[in-house]
Amino acid sequence: MTTTSSSLLTDLNWRYATKKFDTSKKVSAEDLETIMSAVNLAATSYGLQPFRVMHVQDPAVREKLKAAAYGQPQITDADHLFVFCHLLEVSDEYVDDYIARIAAERNTDVANLKGFGDTIKGSLGNKTSQEVADWTRRQAYIALGHLLVTAATLRVDSCPMEGFDAAAFGEILGLKDQGLGAAVVATVGYRSEEDQLQHAAKVRLPLTELFHTV
């Protein structure tokens, strides 16, 4: 095992779903930008990034979201709150904008990418509205994984959260008007010494049971 891989596994073993954050500790601007950049680099189908992330900083809004998350203190106590939102639909215009961005970044003509754009549109066109929404929601979860791993490598604590009223979150954040739905939440900051869960042994399946060779 290389030093890098050993360090990564050490970081992931250190990570846990932090339930109690230290409200006095702040994440540095540099670490925060690294975490956000890692989310931006997450793999998504076609590279389409059919999700957006609400970085909620307003204390009053976070109090409302806390109520919609059944009073879980991480929502207000963590230094940062990210709400991963998925596109409710992916329009042809959205795909066209993406294709234009590729053309600009890679210094090529949009016409050269028409086949790729048509493939995306055709694939999504064969899905129902619910299937598209389910697909975009899954893309948001891939990005969440990037946040969790990157935060761990920086020794910044985090907590992925699904325990919230998505409809209420949508109402509070005005998501529907933006064509978005709340998928999953991540709180980021530093663990409190009072959080006893940090001392609990990590429980996972043995690799021989988790992985099946065919």
- Look at residue 30 and tell me whether its pLDDT is greater than 70: yes
Predicted local confidence at residue 87, as pLDDT: 98
Helix (H, G, I), strand (E, B) or coil at 174: coil
* Per-residue pLDDT reduced to its tens digit, 98-126: 999 999 999 999 999 999 999 999 999 99
Burial of 156 (0-12, 13-18, 19+ CB in 10 A): buried
Q: How confident is the model at residue 4 (pLDDT cuts 50, 70, 90)?
A: confident
State the DSSP code for 197.
G
**Which residue range is the domain that position 141 belongs to?**
25-210
Using N-to-C axis directions, what is the helix angle for 129-153 and 29-40, rounded to 10°? Answer: 140
20 lies in some domain: no
Cα of 5 vs its chain's centroid, Å:
23
2 lies in some domain: no
88 lies in some domain: yes
- Look at residue 3 and tell me whether its pLDDT is greater than 90: no
CATH number, domain with residue 81 = 3.40.109.10
12 lies in some domain: no
Domains of the chain: total:
1
